[in-house]
Amino acid sequence: MKKQNPRRHRVRWYGVRTLYRLTTSGRPLGKDKDYDPDVSMIEDRVVLFSAGSGAMAVQKAEREARRYASEFSYRNPYGRRVLCRYLGALDPFENFEKPGQGAEVYSLTEVVPRRVTDKKIIERLFGTERYKDPRRRNFYNEEFSERVRNGASAN
């Protein structure tokens, strides 16, 4: 009979939330009404890791977050370079089920006063119209959108 190694860790799954700030640099090749050199964009990612402990998952997530940010570079429709910076903030969540269809990968809870309406909570956590903000175009990849030159989109 084989003895089990007591030092062997059971592999667990962790969803680790990481935060990034996207900025643009360089001279624009063109401008339109949505061009805004003063905006930045926040990216909130949740990535899965298998690890023997929460500390190991955090180490893996830190490495992956730095790699992701360092390899993140493309040009936007204005011809400006879009860069990404890892903000050094992460939040691990141990999953108690194996990854798969419908499995929870991350959960965040907070205590709020009862008087705060559901609508206010949703607006704070998801924003009201943030996905419709036309300034998001400043962070689109030019490969997937039209380039802007002299105030008009070029085909």
**What pLDDT is attached to residue 146?**
76
**Positions of E strands within 26-151:** 41-51, 73-75, 81-95, 147-149
What per-residue string of b and e applies to 95-121 under the rule 16 or more CB within 10 Å gives b? Answer: beeeeeeeeebbeeeeeeeeeeeeeee
What pLDDT is attached to residue 148?
Answer: 78
Q: What is the pLDDT of residue 155?
A: 43
Looking at residue 55, its pLDDT comes to 95
Task: Answer for the pair 95, 15: CB distance below 8 angstroms, yes or no.
Answer: yes
* Annotated domain spans of the chain: 12-154
Strands 12-25 and 81-95: antiparallel
Q: Give the DSSP H or E segment for 21.
A: strand 12-25
Residues of the chain with pLDDT under 50: 6, 154-155
Beta bridge partners of 17: 46, 91
Q: Please check whether residue 106 is in contact with residue 46, taking contact to mean a CB–CB distance below 8 angstroms.
A: yes
Q: Quote the pLDDT of residue 135.
A: 83
Give residue 105's pLDDT.
85
pLDDT value for 79 = 95
The string of pLDDT tens digits covering residues 32-69 is 999 999 999 989 999 999 999 999 999 999 999 999 99
